[in-house]
Amino acid sequence: MFQRILLATDFSDNAHGACAWAEKLAQTNDGTVVLIHALEDDLVATAPVFAEYMEADVLDVGRYREGFRAAAKRALEGVADRMRSRGTSVETHLLENGKPSVAMVQGAQDLNCSVIVMATHGRGGIAKFLLGSTVEKVVRMATCPVLTVPEGEEVS
């Protein structure tokens, strides 16, 4: 049923639980984990409330982009290597298509994935209002099922 499982990671501690769920789905369905990380275009986009009060180049990560890209690729391969050592089929992709939520949904379509697995951060209140919820956006936009894994959720 789920042959290609898109696993979105931000490399946080919360993402580890989602990794375990994606691996279980892949092993149960003789599938492949399509491990992705979506690079944010710029830091101004993560703080829209303040964007109009700042010069765009103050928080632009463009000059650091190559460093971020290289670090993200190394991190993806590190996660993939750990999964492979447990017998899971994995491929990695670094997505750079703007907003992470849009990149994840588009990535699932482009990479022919039948489900998206991602961790929730459990932000609430003002943090959720200011930052929005990537998970919420993915759930609303996705054309395939989305498995959201709360912090501490164990695979049974």
pLDDT, residue 64, reads 62
Q: Which residues contact 112 (CB under 8 A, 6 or more apart)?
A: 4
- pTM of the full structure: 0.81
Greater confidence (90 vs 38) lies with 90
Q: Average pLDDT, whole number, for the chain?
A: 81
pLDDT, residue 58, reads 55
Residue range 4-149 forms a domain whose CATH class is alpha beta
The DSSP secondary structure of 39-108, one letter per residue, reads: --S-SGGG-HHHHTTS-HHHH--GGGHHHHHHHHHHHHHHHHHHHHHTT-EEEEEEE-SSSHHHHHHHHH
pLDDT in tens, 144-154: 999 988 877 66
Lowest mean pLDDT among 24-28, 33-37, 84-88, 128-132: 128-132
Q: Residue 148: what are its φ and ψ, rounded to 5°? A: -100, 135
pLDDT in tens, 61-99: 555 677 778 888 999 999 999 999 999 999 999 998 778
pLDDT, residue 153, reads 67
pLDDT band for 130, please (50, 70, 90 cuts): very low
pLDDT, residue 78, reads 93
pLDDT, residue 22, reads 96
pLDDT, residue 156, reads 67
The CA distances from residue 10 to 49, 72, 104, in Å, are 23, 9, 12
Q: Residue 9: what are its φ and ψ, rounded to 5°? A: -130, 145
| pLDDT of 131 over the 70 cut | no
Greater confidence (70 vs 102) lies with 102
